[in-house]
Amino acid sequence: MSQEDNTFKLPLGLTNILRIFIWVLLIIGILKMWLVLPREFWQYMFFLRVPIIAALFLVFFPLIATTVLKSMLKNLFVLRGKWQLTFVIVGAIMGGMAIVLTANPILLNAKERFLLDYDLKKIPYIWQYVSAIMLGLPTCIAVTYYSVKEKELIGKQERKRIDQSEEELRQKAEKIIGKIPKELEQEKEKVQKEEERIIRINAIIGVIQGIIISVGLLFAINLTRQWLMSNFSHFPLFIDLIQFVTKQRTNGYLITEPGKIPELAPGHLTTVAFGVVELVVYLTVFFLFQPPKLPIKDDTTDYSDKRKGEAPALLYIMLILAVFELLLGVLSFYFDYFRFSIFFFGLFILILNYSFFKVDHFYKLESESDSSYAGKDKSSCQELCDFTKVLNERLKFQSDEKTLVIICASGGGIQAAGWTTQVLIGLHNLLKCSFTKSIGLISSVSGGSVGAMYYLDRLENIGCRTEQNRLFNSSTSDSLDATGWGLAYPDLWRLIGFPWLAPKMLDRGIALERDWQQEMKHPHKLTTLATWREKVLQGQMPIPIFNATLVENGKRFLISPLNFNDISQQMNQSSDDIVDDFNSLYGCYDLSVVTAARLSATFPYVSPICRPYYDQSQPGKSLSKKLFNQLQKILGIQPFLKNLKKNYHVADGGYFDNSGFVTVLEWLDKWLNKQLDSSEGFHLKRVILVQINAFPKVNYSKTEHLSAEKKAEDLPKEKAPEKRGLFMATIGPLLAMFKVRDPILAQRNATEIEIFTERWKEKVEINYYPIYFPQSYNSTKVSAFYEGEANLYRPPLSWKLTQQEKQAIKDAWNMIKKTDHIDPKDPNKHIKEVIKALQEKWEEVKQENSGFSEIDSHKSCPRI
C-alpha cells in the first residue's frame, strides 16, 4: 500500500461541515471588522486605494512570481552580475518611495479636500524612508537569493573564464574510460568553489552598491525638496497654475489664510521632488541602456554605439510601477473630489490616443537592393518558384538518386530556440557534414524560428566547436531585458498619452529585433531575405520558411526568400483560403531576417502584433515632401504602400500551426507532384523529415520507429496538479486552449505523415523522425524544466534562461544521443530509438553515396 493510501482523511460529509463552519466564521469576522472599525478608516482606505494596491503588488509580486507564475516570471529575479543586482535594489526602493510619497499627501490633506472628520499627523521623513525600504525589501531579498542560488551573479568575463575551465575538465573526462581520477575530481571541485566565491563577493558588492546609491537618491530627494521650497512654494505663477487646474477648488492643495500668500499644502512638495529625481533616473536608464540601432541595409559601417551592459527586466517593471503609482495617485487625489473615476478617465485617454494619433505597431519593409529583382514584383518571378533547380544545386554533391532532409522546428519560446540549435548542432556532430549539406528546407515557428535564424546565420562554419558554442549562446541569450526597455519607454509613452514622443519604428518588438541583431555573426551588417536568397539559389544554404499568422483573415503567412504563392494556384481551393507568402503580398520589398524571426515569434504580449511600414523618405527630396512625410509621422498616417489593402497585422505562427509541419507537407505534396511529372534530370529517392519538438511526449505513436509495444508500467506516471475551482473558472479556458494545442498537433502530425507515407510509398521513400525534449524521470540533468512530485514539465515562458537551464538543454541532447545500449524501461527509450533509426538510415544513405566519406572526413571547420 502506498504512502498516499495510508494518509488519514476525514469523511466527505464532515469535511464539508468543517468548511461551512470556517466560511461562516470568516463572514462573521468580516462583518465585525466592518462594524467595529470607524467610518474614517474605510474612507481613508478608499482614498488610498492606489498606493495600497501598488504596495500589495510590490510586496507580493516576488512571492507570486516565484511560486504560482514560476514558469513565466521566476527568471525575472535571476540577475547577471553585481550591477544588475544594484540596479534592481535601487529600483525596488524607488518603487517603495513612489508608494509612500504618493500616500503621504493624501493622508495629510484628505481631511481638507474631502471634508473628513479625522485628521492624521505628519509622518517624519525618516519613517517615510524606512517604510519605502521595507516595501522594496521582499524584491531585494528575492533577487539576491535566486541570483546566488542559480549561480548567475557573475560577470561576463568571469563567466567566460569559469565556462572555459569547466569545458576543459569536461573534455578531459570524456577521454577517460572508466573511473574518473581523483585529481580531476579535485580540480572540478576547485573550479566550483571559485565560482561560488565570486558569486558571494558579487552579491555583497551589489547589495552595498544598491544601498549606497539608494541613500544617495534619498538625499537627492531631500535636497530637491528644499530647493523647490525656497524657489517655488510661494511663486505666484505656480500658485495660479494650481488654482486654474483645480478650478479654484484648492482644498488639500493650498493653505490659504486671509492676508497671507497661499502656500502649498504639506506633503506635495516632497512628492514633486521625488518626481523630479525619478524623472532623472528614468531618463538616465533610457539613454544608458537603449538597445543599439539596427544597421542600415547595404551599409557595413562598424558603428560604435554598443551597449556597455543591459539593465535587468525587473528594473523596468519597478520603473513602470513608479510611473503608474505617481500618475494614478495624483489623478485619484484630484478626481475623487469631483467623484469622477480615474478608470474612465484613463480609458478615455487610451481611446483618444489610439484613434486620433492612429497608434499602431509596425515592422519595417526594406527596399529591394538585389539588382536582379529591383523594381520587380517577385511574386511573378518563376525562377523563385523553381524548387527543383534550387534543390538540385543544394544536393549536387550527392549521386543521381537524391536524399532530401527537411527540418521542422516547433515553437516554445526561448527553450525551443535553444533546443532547435542544440539538436541541429548535435545531428551535425553525430551524422557529420554530409547530413547538414543535405538539409534542403527548414520550416520553423515561433521560438524555433529564432533558433533557425541563428543556425542559418552561422551555418557556413557549423563544424567548428567555437562556432557551435557561439550559436548556442546566441539562440539562448536573454531577450527579456530589451522587451522590458521597450515596455518601459516607447510603449508606456503610447499608453499614458504621449504617443508623439515615441518614434513610429520603436517599440518592444523593434527593441527585441535590435537585441537579436547584436547576437548575429555580423551584428553591424543587416542580413535580409535578399541576402539569403542569393545563397539559397547558389545551394549554399537550405530554403528557410518562417511561419507566421495573418490576424485579419487567419491565414498562414510564409516568410521566405523564395515564392510559395503558386501552392494555392495548383492545389485545391481550401489551400487558397489558408496560406499567403511574403513575396505574394509584398513582392517589391525586402525584409531583414531578424524581423522575419520576430514576426514568426510574436509571443503574446512579449512582442506586439504589428503591420508593415515602408519609409519612403530618401535624400534629395524637396522640402515640401519632407515636411509632408514628417506630418504623416506625427499624425500616425501610414505612407503609401503597394498592396495597401493587404496591409495585414502579423501574429505568432503558433496560432495556426506550432510545428511548421503543415507547411512542409503541403509544399512537399505539391512539389513531388510537379517534380515527378517533369522531365528534369532530378531523381528524388527519399525524404527524411526531422521534427524538432521543444516539449516532451508521453503518448507515443507507431510512426516513431518503436520496435516494441510500450508497456503500461514503463510509462512515466504523471500526477495532475490540484487546481481549485476559482483557478479553473477564470484561467481554465485559456489553459485548456494552450495545453490542448501540442497534443493535437503531435497526433495530427503522426496521422498525416502516416497517410502521406502511404500515398507516396511507390515513388518516394518518406522517413519521419520526431525528436522530442526528453523526460526527466531517469536523470537529474534535465530536471531544471520539471517541478514537484508530479514531475510536470515547466519550460520557461519569459524569453530568459538561467545557466542551469541552458546546461540542461545541452545535457538533454547528450543523454538521448547515446543509443548503443537502450534500457527497455528507459522513459526516453522512444527518443533514443528515433535517433538510432536516423543514424542507421543515414548510414544507408552513405553507402549509396561514395563521396560522403571524403566530405565527412574533414577535421577542420569546412564551409557548409
Condensed to tens digits (0 to 9), the pLDDT of residues 781-830 reads 565 665 555 555 666 767 889 888 998 999 999 999 988 888 888 888 89
Reduced to 3 states (helix: H, G, I; strand: E, B; else coil), residue 514 is: helix
- pLDDT for 180 equals 67
Cα-to-chain-centroid distance, residue 232: 46
> How far apart are alpha carbons 6 and 840 in whole angstroms?
50
DSSP class of residue 365 equals P
Q: Measured in whole angstroms, how far is the alpha carbon of residue 469 from the centre of its chain? A: 21
Map grid coordinates 523553381 to a residue.
386
Rounding to the nearest 10 degrees, give the CA dihedral for residues 302, 303, 304, 305.
Answer: -150
Q: Which of 689, 691, 662, 672 is nearest to 578 (CA)?
A: 662
| pLDDT over 90 at 273, yes or no | yes
C-alpha dihedral over 780, 784, 788, 790, to 10 degrees? Answer: -70
Q: Per-residue confidence at 61, pLDDT binned at 50, 70, 90?
A: very high
The pLDDT value recorded for residue 721 is: 55
Q: What is the mean pLDDT of residues 739-759?
A: 78
Average pLDDT of span 267-291: 94
Q: Report the amino acid identity of residue 780.
A: T
CA 406 to chain centroid: 26
Q: Give the whole-number percent of the chain exceeding pLDDT 70.
A: 81
Query: Distance between CA 623 and CA 629 in Å, rounded?
Result: 10
**CA 461/CA 454 separation, integer angstroms:** 12
List alpha helices for 150-304, DSSP H.
Answer: 156-175, 182-231, 236-245, 268-288
Q: Which of 17-21, 438-442, 552-556, 619-623 is predicted least confidently?
A: 619-623
The Cα 23–Cα 781 span in angstroms is: 45
Secondary structure letter of residue 551 according to DSSP: T
Which of residues 713 and 399 earns the better pLDDT score? 399
User: Span 5-27, mean pLDDT?
Assistant: 77
Q: How far apart are CA 152 and CA 79, in angstroms?
A: 6
Say which residue, 210 or 621, is predicted with more confidence: 210
**Contacts for 68 with CB less than 8 Å, ≥ 6 apart:** none
Angle at 161 between CA 157 and CA 162, to 5 degrees: 115
Question: In whole numbers, what is the pLDDT of the chain averaged over residues?
Answer: 83
- Specify the pLDDT at position 645: 57
Higher pLDDT residue, 533 or 259? 533
User: Taking the CA atoms of the chain, what radius of gyration do you get in angstroms?
Assistant: 31
pLDDT the model gives residue 497: 86
- The whole-number pLDDT of residue 271 equals 93
3-state secondary structure of 692: strand
DSSP-assigned letter for residue 120: P
Partner residues linked to 612 by β-bridges: 363
Can you give the pLDDT at residue 2?
45
Higher pLDDT, 28 or 68: 28
Closest to 745 in 3D by CA, of 690, 705, 691: 691
Tell me which residue has cell 501610414.
638
Task: Answer yes or no: are the C-beta atoms of 607 and 483 closer than 8 Å.
Answer: yes
Report which of residues 637 and 417 the model is more confident about: 417
Residue range 335-352: average pLDDT?
89
The 3-state DSSP class for residue 444 equals strand
Alpha helix positions (H), 731-827: 732-760, 803-816
The confidence score (pLDDT) of residue 472 equals: 96
Rounded alpha-carbon distances, angstroms, from residue 28 to 20, 37, 46, 425: 12, 14, 22, 64
Higher-pLDDT residue of 761 and 705 is 761
Distance CA 354, CA 32 (A): 47
Contact yes or no for 360/610 (Cβ under 8 A): yes
In 3D space, the residue among 457, 469, 394, 395 whose CA is nearest the CA of residue 425 turns out to be: 469
Burial grade of 179 (CB within 10 A; 0-12, 13-18, 19 or more): exposed
Mean pLDDT, range 11-23, rounded to an integer:
82
Lowest average pLDDT, out of 129-143, 306-320, 347-361, 673-687, goes to 673-687
CA distances from residue 7 to 1, 12, 15, 311, 718 in whole angstroms, order as listed: 11, 15, 15, 49, 20
How long a stretch of residues is the chain?
Answer: 864
Instruction: State yes or no: pLDDT of 5 exceeds 80.
Output: no
Residue 630: all three cell numbers together = 514628417
Q: Which residues of 332-354 are buried (b: 16+ CB within 10 A; e: fewer)?
A: bbbebbeeeebeeebeeeeeebe
More confident residue, 239 or 548: 548
pLDDT digits (tens, 9 = 90+) for 440-457: 999 999 999 999 999 999
At 735, which amino acid appears?
A: L
The Cα 250–Cα 246 span in angstroms is 6
Instruction: Give dist(CA 298, CA 504) in Å, integer.
Output: 22
Residue at 852: amino acid letter: F
Q: Which of 656, 664, 842, 834 is nearest to 752 (CA)?
A: 664
Task: State the DSSP code for 300.
Answer: -
Place of cell 551599409: 299
CA distance 202 to 83: 9
**174: burial class by Cβ within 10 Å (0-12, 13-18, 19+)?**
exposed
Interior angle at CA 773, CA 771 and CA 775, nearest 5 = 120
- Which pLDDT does position 622 carry in this prediction? 40
pLDDT value for 16: 80
The grid coordinates listed for 22 are 470556517
Mind listing the pLDDT tens digit for each residue in 828-863? 889 999 999 999 999 999 999 888 888 887 765 666
> What mean pLDDT comes out for the span 650-672?
91
Gap between the Cα atoms of 540 and 532, Å rounded: 9
Q: What is the pTM of this model?
A: 0.87
Domain ranges of the chain: 18-45, 48-160+190-290+309-340, 363-615+657-708+769-856
Q: Using one digit for the tens of pLDDT, what is the confidence trace for 662-711?
A: 999 999 998 888 876 665 667 889 999 999 998 887 554 444 443 333 33
Alpha helices in 250-398 (DSSP H): 268-288, 313-335, 342-356, 387-394
- Between 68 and 600, the more confident residue is 600
Q: Contact at 8 Å (CB) between 611 and 647?
A: yes
Looking at residue 236, its pLDDT comes to 76
Beta-ladder partners of 552 = none
Which of 455, 503, 489 shows the shortest CA–CA distance to 475? 455
How many helices and strands (H and E) does the chain possess?
A: 33, 16
User: What is the 3 state secondary structure string of 592-646?
Assistant: EHHHHHHHHCCCCCCCCCEEEECCCCCCCCCHHHHHHHHHHHHHCCCCCCCCHHH
pLDDT of residue 103 exceeding 60: yes
Contact 793, 695 (CB under 8 A): yes
DSSP structure class, residue 74 = G
Q: pLDDT value at position 716?
A: 44
Give the per-residue pLDDT at 304: 45
Question: 626 versus 126: which is more confidently predicted?
Answer: 126
Cα–Cα dist 103/497, whole Å: 24
Per DSSP, the residues of 242-269 read HHHHTTT--TTTEE--TTS--EEPTTHH
